[in-house]
Structure 1
């Protein structure tokens, strides 16, 4: 009960004090969030937060959907479809970098305020896995469909098979074949998953993730993005969190679920994200993945406070609300790529 009381006390303080601070404090573009300024990250509902620069376009589409009075699920789907359809986003959907066999395989999940969720993994030939994930949520008794089963289900729901390997991604794959060395490049050129969290005007949470996963992965590999509790987790009484980066590390720590649990104990979104990044670092500092390991989290709580944190610098996220509009912000990080 002490954690719950602490959380409620923090919420009450946020309503009186931090909301006033928010209205008088404008964080500059790419402000690094610290324990001294995280209180400024109280946004007026509704709020949308998503990972990486391509989150700006996704946020805009999601915002317009919310303003039409549509649901948070519809806003998540509409927003993430922007990245899925953009061949310039080489880590999501159409144009995503393929696995080592030259196949573009996609993962996605979506979750609503009632903890209902839908997910697809290892899906091929369908441009919008986030839409298929929503159909899994709405039309099946299951949470996840994978591989051929997910593909067959998509066709049964009216989705059309498409070739997702663009000439640019095919060329990159053939260049990679010359050495065939698997070393994920996340956060520099391959910006990985787009994850999105929404808190609507009533304070209800929805979230989603979509990705083509790590380039040059083994055929059949699935990352954290379609796994509820790893790449995405929501509790409508507390808040939501989502991940980006090397999925294996997020899966090993149930990353997003743990961020939400720390917020349940009274930590701010920034504090919760930072603690789980520290946990991932401690578990992986002597791991073979460490030289190229990057993970980042975003989170939002029921009061509209948001934040994020990453293992290495370079991670950023897009935030959209009524007062400040759609902009990029830069969270803190534990280390740099040189460390």
Structure 2
């Protein structure tokens, strides 16, 4: 872990123009506006805003509430993000994560997740079935094995060995939606309903350490066996504790093509604010997809949190929102700025 960390962090953080890093808040001031006051670090100051949570979509609000309990009790960011996203995993009303997630085109609910801490330790599971909390299995992979990713039956076997219980994750509501989809069997996901497929959460804790988690049931009506970006370190989630963290939501194939979250972090290393870094990668994805037929159902969003506790987000189309929790403003939902209408 140490050798990898040294390799990735060769570029000195001291070159970052800290004064350009601004928070994205819901007070009517754009996140990159130099008049932004909340959480902005003025040049020469070293104050870090902490703790801070940011997570994707409106189901990020209850997830943040749970994660905040851990942070305010002095717990680690890793414990907080795991506890937070488990709320969405267990909620049958969340159709894109865990229990209640809409199935693939064979009627199977398959889950992906990854988790990462401030020391570059990470764990991941993909194509996992019948286990409600893939994020906790991913953490066990990180802590109990020499590997990073387990998939399919191997991931399920490992989960059962670790004491997780097998259960049916297809709710009556999800099954009904599947039966309705079968009438046409078209893979043209409805933007922000059938293809946002994730909850991602980033945290900076009282120690100033970064952590992240990402978990999903994947895009609705996907081909059985499909895996998106959510369990892939560097695509759906990435962090460098000397720079910042980033996570993605939306169509996983687009994120994988750009190593999206890793690139957001690298742009922050080069001096961009969280908002600016997210925006540049969304623009890059838009350029790649501009003349592709699947642009019509493409939605992508990124969230980012830097080492100073400043955050930002950006998405391709209207409809993406994200939840932020900090000491100053509490827990709130923010509409993401977007590239195209």
Q: Same fold (TM over 0.5)?
A: yes
Q: Counterpart of 2:339?
A: 334
Deviation digits for residues 293-331 of structure 1, max 9, x if unmatched?
010000011111100000111111000011110001122
User: Structure 1 residues 41, 306: closer, same or farther in 2, change over 3 A?
Assistant: farther
Secondary structure, aligned partner of 2:293: coil
The reply on whether 1:42 has 2:39 as its aligned counterpart is yes
Q: Counterpart of 2:312?
A: 307
Distance 1:255 1:26 in 2: 23
The reply on whether 1:187 has 2:192 as its aligned counterpart is yes
Deviation digits for residues 72-100 of structure 1, max 9, x if unmatched?
11111110000000000000000000000
The one of 290, 294, 299 equivalent to 1:289 is 294
Root-mean-square deviation (Å): 2.0
Conserved in 2, the CA contact under 8 Å of 1:119 and 1:144?
Answer: yes
Conserved in 2, the CA contact under 8 Å of 1:297 and 1:309?
Answer: yes
For structure 1, the 5+ residue unaligned runs are: none
Q: Counterpart of 1:204?
A: 209
Cα offset, 1:26, TM superposition: 7.2
Distance 1:315 1:26 in 2: 15
Q: Counterpart of 1:64?
A: 69
Q: Counterpart of 1:279?
A: 284
Conserved in 1, the CA contact under 8 Å of 2:29 and 2:36?
Answer: no
User: Structure 1 residues 289, 219: closer, same or farther in 2, change over 3 A?
Assistant: same
User: Structure 1 residues 102, 197: closer, same or farther in 2, change over 3 A?
Assistant: same
Q: Counterpart of 1:159?
A: 164
Deviation digits for residues 83-130 of structure 1, max 9, x if unmatched?
000000000000000000000000000000001000000000000000
The reply on whether 1:253 has 2:258 as its aligned counterpart is yes
Distance 1:161 1:153 in 2: 12
The reply on whether 1:115 has 2:112 as its aligned counterpart is no
The one of 171, 177, 182 equivalent to 1:177 is 182
Distance 1:136 1:2 in 2: 30
Cα offset, 1:14, TM superposition: 7.0
The one of 136, 142, 148 equivalent to 2:147 is 142
Cα offset, 1:68, TM superposition: 2.1
Conserved in 2, the CA contact under 8 Å of 1:32 and 1:329?
Answer: no
Distance 2:195 2:289 in 1: 21
Cα offset, 1:186, TM superposition: 3.3
Conserved in 1, the CA contact under 8 Å of 2:202 and 2:212?
Answer: yes
Conserved in 1, the CA contact under 8 Å of 2:30 and 2:36?
Answer: no
Conserved in 1, the CA contact under 8 Å of 2:103 and 2:110?
Answer: yes
Distance 1:195 1:45 in 2: 19
Conserved in 1, the CA contact under 8 Å of 2:282 and 2:315?
Answer: yes
Secondary structure, aligned partner of 1:102: coil
Cα offset, 1:289, TM superposition: 1.4
Deviation digits for residues 216-254 of structure 1, max 9, x if unmatched?
000000000000000000000000000000000000000
TM-score (norm 1): 0.91
The reply on whether 1:321 has 2:318 as its aligned counterpart is no
The one of 243, 248, 251 equivalent to 1:243 is 248
Q: Counterpart of 1:92?
A: 97
Distance 1:53 1:33 in 2: 20
Cα offset, 1:162, TM superposition: 0.4
TM-score (norm 2): 0.90
Cα offset, 1:190, TM superposition: 5.3
Q: Counterpart of 2:43?
A: none
